[in-house]
Amino acid sequence: MNDSVPTPFPRLPGDDRGINRALNDHLRQVVNTRAVDLIETQRVLVDRMNAGFARYDGRPLRTALSPWIFSGIQWRELQRFASRLTEIQRTLIGMYREHDVLRSILDLPATVDDLIRSRPPFQDPLPIARVDTFWTASGYRILEFNTDSSSGMNDAPEIEEGLLESDLYREILTRWPLRVNRMNHRVYMAILDSYRFWPGRRRERPTIAIVDWKGVGTEPEFLALKAEFERFGSPTLLADPGDLHIDGDRLIAGDQPVDTVYRRALTFELVAKPEAAAPLFEAYRRGLICPIGSFEGEVLYSKLSLAALTDPRVQDDLPEHMLEFIRATCPWTRRLEDGPSKSGEGSESLLEIVRRDKDQLVIKPATAYGGNGVVLGFKVTSSEWDLAIENALKSACVIQELVSIPELPALLVVGGQIEWRDLKANLGIFTFGGSFGGVYLRASEDPVINVSAGGATIPTFRVE
């Protein structure tokens, strides 16, 4: 058993590290004197996840027993960050239809461009969204925008509520008044707000179809959301895109007409299966449904959106207060392509820069998820980096400045033993209707952090 708390302890903007260090010191004492209590807490939590919805691909999520606590100051800093980010996101989406350079950088598939243009601009193109970040003491650094089928709203709050019901955390609550930030209801309210402004509104509470492919690993989250939506009076069903069809002026899921489609199937996956996607695309174009997840969100979902935001040719058309925020939060990003740089990097070709600065760069596919295809320059040899470049040139990929990865100490049960481990962490920041709605914190031994690849959920709580 390793009973030492690793260092350095990370900082978030506005954080003095006091409460997190104090709570981890308390947990260190528990490790030294009552390790059996921690193992029992883990066992009960796993049983709760198996009985509930905090699972991925049928397995309970890997979870740390040590939380991260956000102070009221930090929570308000997150609110300010989300507000400024939403303004920029909506501005970039609004520029898409008329900005030739922006469209050339994004190079969206013709089907997606047609879907965006088939409808007037949405009042709120991003009712549900998430941005993934790393952080430093001075601010957040954006890794990517999740504006197409954002996930993770249920898992962390369910885990956190389970922990607060344990004997260990009941004791902790006598010292620190921890609060869970529940997000499922925020999802429903964002859906309801979009529905209220939909011209085709038929009733007070919409019938909702959560649409994704059968058997996806996130299906338990859909079941949790279904239970929440139905609790507030919206009949909800899960539907595969291939199970949809149109009857007159209604989209039918199975045998039930639906008003609202909460689309969780990714756009590029739908484009790759045009026959299965045809009814959904037609319903969208004809305005037969209130879509939650408009295709305008694809402007940001592609990692090429960061290439656009950091490109001088796009920045020329943004106001200074937005540029200040972009410079502070967005890492340098370019589309990986052969030939001269088009974005003011000087006389060097982009590939010369990429080969020269290998250890400070990362290659990412523009629309992949789950860490698939990500290559960190410092983790590979020069020959492996050259091969990664060669492969990346065959599809839409970005080259991006490597952002320093924060680490935090996590208390884990590993093989029946208690261990403190330093884990690399990223923070997902959710917005609902353009306003800050909550967070989840994921961590991993690997610098490519993803739950589907074995990453852990770090419980997060608020205190005032």
pLDDT at 340: 66
Residues paired with 443 in a beta bridge: 425, 456
Q: Tell me phi and psi for residue 79, to 5 degrees.
A: -65, -45
Instruction: Go through 93-126 and write b for each residue having 16 or more CB atoms within 10 A of its CB, e for each that does not.
Output: bebbeebebbbebbebeebbbebbeeeeebebbb
Q: Is the pLDDT of residue 14 over 90?
A: no
pLDDT at 13: 60
Give the mean model confidence (pLDDT) for residues 321-346.
85
Read off the pLDDT of residues 398-409 as tens digits, 9 standing for 90 and up.
Answer: 999 999 899 999
Q: Is the pLDDT of residue 5 over 50?
A: no
pLDDT at 343: 56
CA distance 439 to 79: 11
Sorted by sequence, the CB contacts under 8 Å of residue 423 that are 6+ apart come out as 64, 407, 408, 409, 410, 443, 444, 445, 456, 458
How many CB atoms neighbour CB 359 within 10 A?
A: 12
pLDDT band at residue 344, thresholds of 50, 70 and 90?
A: low
pLDDT at 154: 93
Read off the pLDDT of residues 23-36 as tens digits, 9 standing for 90 and up.
Answer: 999 999 999 999 99
pLDDT at 12: 60
pLDDT band at residue 4, thresholds of 50, 70 and 90?
A: very low
Contact between 292 and 281 (Cβ < 8 Å): no
> Can you give the three-state secondary structure of 121-142, one letter per residue?
CCCCCCCEEEEEEEEECCEEEE
Positive or negative CA dihedral for 252, 254, 258, 262?
negative
pLDDT at 7: 35
Written as six digits, the tokens of 236 are: 């909800």
The pTM (predicted TM-score) of the whole model is 0.93
The alpha carbon of residue 66 and the mean position of all alpha carbons in its chain are separated, in whole angstroms, by: 22
Read off the pLDDT of residues 228-276 as tens digits, 9 standing for 90 and up.
Answer: 999 999 999 999 999 999 999 999 998 999 999 999 999 999 999 999 9
Secondary structure class of 381 (helix, strand, coil): coil
pLDDT band at residue 10, thresholds of 50, 70 and 90?
A: low
Read off the pLDDT of residues 172-215 as tens digits, 9 standing for 90 and up.
Answer: 999 999 999 999 999 999 999 999 999 999 889 999 999 999 99
Sorted by sequence, the CB contacts under 8 Å of residue 277 that are 6+ apart come out as 241, 265, 270, 271
Sorted by sequence, the CB contacts under 8 Å of residue 232 that are 6+ apart come out as 185, 188, 205
pLDDT at 387: 96
Structural domains of the chain sorted by starting position, each given as residue range(s) with its CATH number in brackets? 184-292 (3.40.50.1760), 332-401 (3.30.1490)
Read off the pLDDT of residues 70-127 as tens digits, 9 standing for 90 and up.
Answer: 988 889 999 999 999 999 999 999 999 999 999 999 999 999 999 999 999 988 999 9
pLDDT at 431: 97
Read off the pLDDT of residues 373-419 as tens digits, 9 standing for 90 and up.
Answer: 899 999 999 999 999 999 999 999 999 999 989 999 999 999 889 99
Chain mean pLDDT for the chain: 91
pLDDT band at residue 19, thresholds of 50, 70 and 90?
A: confident
Q: Is the pLDDT of residue 457 over 70?
A: yes
